[in-house]
Amino acid sequence: MKAYAKANIFLKIVGLDTRGYHLLNSRFILLKDLYDELYLSNEKTQEGFEIISDFYCENNIIKKAYHLLCNYGYKKELEELFKNKSLKLIKNIPTGAGLGGGSSNCASFLILINETLNLKLSTQELINLSIKLGSDIAFFLSGFHSANVKGCGEIIDAFEDEIPHINWTFPQIFCDTNEVYKEFDKKKYDFELNLKQAKIYENLSTKEILQIYKNFELNDLFTPCVSLYPKMLNYLENQYFLSGSGSSVFKVCK
C-alpha cells in the first residue's frame, strides 16, 4: 500500500485551543509521486506486532495506532494476524521534512488493517480514531487530493484545485516540528489577521496562491524554522516555499 506525502501550500496559525494546541488553517495537497510503502510480510524476527524497516521505528506512530485498535476492541484479531505476519515499511519520504510521512504511514496502516481484517470501519470512524493519534492523519484518510484543513487537522474540506507543476528540494536538515512551534510561540502574532489572510487563501487555487503571495506570507512557520536552523535562510531569501515546519521547500516550474 502506498502512503503518499503531502505539501502545505499555505499554513496560517490562527489561535490556540483549550489544551494549548495550535489551531491552523492550511491547504494540503497530496503528492502522488512521493510515497512510502507498507505491506504485510511473512518475515518475523520477534513475537507479536513488529515493524520491519531500515527506518528507526521504536516510537513510531504506527505502534500507537496498533494499540489504539487493540483498545478499540480488535485485540484478538490483531494478535492473530501478527502471530505470523509483520508490517514491512519502506521509507522514501524524507523525515523531519514537513511532508507528513509519519501521519501518512499511520493512515495507510489503519486502512490496511481495516481492509485485511474486514473491520468495516467507515472513513469517518477511522478519522475519529486518528484524532487520538495526531494531526494530519485525517487528511490522508479522507482520500482527498486537495483540501482546506482547519483546527488541529481534523476539519477537512475538499477543494477543487488547480495545481501547477512543482519542483522540490529536500535539504539535509531535520526540522523538529515541536521545536519549530515552540520557536513560533516566542514571537507575538496577530491571530485575527492570520485568520483573515487564511480566509482569502482558502478560496484561491493553489496555482493562484503561489503566483500572488510571498513565501513568508504563506507559512507562519518559515521564520521560526529559519531561527532554529540558520541554513534554511538561503531558501527563504531565494523565494522557495516551505511545506509544514520544514525542511522541504519548493518552487513552481516556469
pTM of the model: 0.94
Q: How many residues does the chain have?
A: 254
Calculate the CA 114 to chain-centre distance. Answer: 20
Annotated domain spans of the chain: 2-158, 166-252
207 φ, ψ to 5°? -60, -45
Between CA 253 and CA 250 the distance in angstroms is 9
Which residues sit opposite 89 in a β-bridge? 38
| Cell numbers for 251 | 518552487
User: pLDDT at residue 57 above 90?
Assistant: no
Point out the residues that are catalytic.
6, 136
Q: Which one, of 133, 169, 131, lies nearest residue 153 by Cα?
A: 131
Mean pLDDT throughout 43-47? 93
> Do 191 and 183 meet the contact criterion of CB atoms below 8 Å apart?
no
Tell me which architecture the domain covering 2-158 has in CATH.
Answer: 2-Layer Sandwich (3.30)
Say whether 166-252 and 2-158 share the same fold: no
The pLDDT tens digits for 147-179 are 999 999 999 999 999 999 999 999 999 999 999
Between CA 208 and CA 146 the distance in angstroms is 14
Helix axes 61-69, 123-130, angle to 10 degrees: 120
CATH T-level topology, domain 166-252: Alpha-Beta Plaits (3.30.70)
User: pLDDT at residue 189 above 90?
Assistant: no
